[in-house]
Amino acid sequence: MLAPIIPLDEFGALALPALCSVGALPDRTAPAVLARSLTVCGDAELRIPHDPIAPTNLPADTRTLLGSARCWVGPFALDAATEPLITEWLDKGAAGVLITLPSSEPPDLVVEMLAALPRERVCLIVPWAGARDGPSALSLEAAVRLAAAPIEKAGKPLVALVGALLVNVSLPPTDTAAADGAALLAEPLRQLGKALKLKIRLGFDGLAPSVGDAGALHCADIAVHACVAVATPLGAKVTLVEPASVGAALVACARTDRADGLLTTVVVDEGGVCLGLVYSSAESVQESVRAGRGIYFSRSRNSLWRKGDTSGATQELQRIEVDCDSDALRFTVRQLGEPPAFCHLGTRTCWGEARGLHALQRTLQARLASAPAGSYSAKLFADPTLLRHKLLEEAQELIEATEPDHVAAEAADMLFFLMTRCVAAGVGLADIERHLDKRTLKVKRRPGLAKEHRVRAAEEQLGIAHARPAGKAGASGWAKLGVVVVAVGAAALLSARSLAQR
């Protein structure tokens, strides 16, 4: 897979305008839009300046990209000064960090710092100048030993501390022949990864490999980090990666046994609910990435199918992925339209309407826009105080429930009122899930104790006496509410849906 390298300036802003020619994208040239297009098909590398920057006060565009795409951030020279920055980037949502190991630090200290990081999100940079007699696993292993010297000196296995290697090949900007022969590295790199039990990534400090080579490397389970642009000796800017080529690289990584070369494509919404089955061509994938919307191939018309051009049910493209065997694509989209239906029959999916929380959300959104007479949902939207009281009431009843079915029923009630509150505020399940996913990336752990002032305020509303021993705020039933809701949420979906029809 192709992982575009997106540079950041010293303030953490996206530095694409100065580097990338975007003449092919007249309506999509804003740095944030271009960066999003470059990352829709997989990972990306956020290339930080020589002096590492903290992610504390990143510009909004960079924060958005960090939260929506799988970004590997680096390079960092791991030492006592950069370790807090690395942890902070991981906490802010970086998929992983690219690091080098300093020879100046004591090996035991280097190992200690690495051990504090999640190994699957640490990628060790391995500089490699190539070999005169061609690439070989032996010459690559020598480069790895040099890059990982502190770990070896400490007597620790590399696989215990890092999850991947980024083999950085140094090439002069004009060495196009070497870049075009990148596929020759596939087998030696595959052998290296197998021997070390590590994921292997390949990067170039000069020209990027061809789209075809990116596909060949993908077959060996190797991702390619490719520069967006480099300056030629004459000073001209040369675009190496742009949205269409990212789409082309994705197609090169996929395979099909169909005579027409089309790729089976599953379309899902932001919650992973399957909307339908379509087919994609190389052209349709590239156009979809370029335009940022769902574009497929119509077998009946033998042409591109720009979803929604006729019906109005367009789709905002979120990402495209190949499956584990690389023989199917998955488009994740935000389905638009009135109603937001994928199927030509006017239903949300080609298997009818969705169920559970997503159906509840859409019903509540419809009630907010236009509710029938006597709608209980509309009453809640119009009376925030009533909604607040119902949330408190249902939370108390959920805490008091003991039998499994009773717990599930009370949780269903709770979820209904929770979703009503969210929809009233313009918040959807995708927003909630995004926060949940982001929290799984946190490296720093918090105690997670109940907030005493919140517990007291809730209990005052419910008239509950304070019977907890001093210093035992965490023992309150309120403190356990979040755990209970998560545990029984799945069982509550269908009951919650019935409430929404009120």
For the entire predicted model, the pTM comes to 0.80
The pLDDT, as a whole number, for residue 207 is 61
- Whether residue 196 lies inside any domain: the answer is yes
Residues 109 and 103: their CA atoms lie apart, in Å, by 11
CA 314 to chain centre: 22
Boundary residue ending a domain (287, 319, 335): 335
The pLDDT, as a whole number, for residue 349 is 94
The pLDDT, as a whole number, for residue 239 is 44
Distant-in-sequence contacts of 472-479, Cβ < 8 A, 24+ apart: 473/449, 474/449, 474/450, 476/450, 477/399, 478/395, 478/399, 478/450, 478/454, 479/449, 479/450, 479/455
- Whether residue 322 lies inside any domain: the answer is yes
| 38 and 134 fall within a common domain | yes
Closest CA relative to residue 488, chosen from 389, 375, 405: 405
| 248 and 302 fall within a common domain | no
Token digits of residue 397: 């009843």
Residues 124 and 163: their CA atoms lie apart, in Å, by 8
Q: Give the domain range for residue 371.
A: 363-500
| 34 and 166 fall within a common domain | yes
The pLDDT, as a whole number, for residue 150 is 93
SS (H, E, C) 21-68: CCCCCCCCCCHHHHHHHHHCCCCEEEECCCCCCCCCCCCHHHHHHHHH
User: Crossing angle, helix 452-462 and helix 384-400, to 10 degrees?
Assistant: 100
Boundary residue ending a domain (205, 227, 253): 253
- Whether residue 303 lies inside any domain: the answer is yes
- Whether residue 310 lies inside any domain: the answer is yes
SS3 category, 72: strand
Closest CA relative to residue 331, chosen from 291, 363, 366, 371: 291
User: Crossing angle, helix 404-424 and helix 356-369, to 10 degrees?
Assistant: 40
| 444 and 489 fall within a common domain | yes
Closest CA relative to residue 129, chosen from 190, 193, 206: 206
- Whether residue 52 lies inside any domain: the answer is yes
For residue 92, give every residue at least 6 positions away whose Cβ sits within 8 Å of its Cβ, in sequence order, or none. 55, 58, 63, 66
| 401 and 444 fall within a common domain | yes
| 288 and 145 fall within a common domain | no
| 115 and 201 fall within a common domain | yes
The pLDDT, as a whole number, for residue 447 is 73
User: Crossing angle, helix 493-500 and helix 404-424, to 10 degrees?
Assistant: 50
CATH number (domain holding residue 215): 3.20.20
* Domains of the chain: total: 3
- The pairing of beta strand 274-280 with beta strand 295-298: unpaired
| 103 and 227 fall within a common domain | yes
| 42 and 107 fall within a common domain | yes
The pLDDT, as a whole number, for residue 332 is 97
- Whether residue 347 lies inside any domain: the answer is no
Tally helices (H) and strands (E) across the chain. Answer: 19, 16
| 156 and 67 fall within a common domain | yes
- Whether residue 96 lies inside any domain: the answer is yes
- Whether residue 348 lies inside any domain: the answer is no
The pLDDT, as a whole number, for residue 107 is 92
Closest CA relative to residue 292, chosen from 312, 320, 316: 316
Residues 429 and 447: their CA atoms lie apart, in Å, by 26
Residue spans of the chain under pLDDT 70: 17-29, 130-137, 171-181, 205-208, 228-244, 461-502
The pLDDT, as a whole number, for residue 448 is 73
SS3 category, 109: helix
| 51 and 151 fall within a common domain | yes
| 187 and 249 fall within a common domain | yes
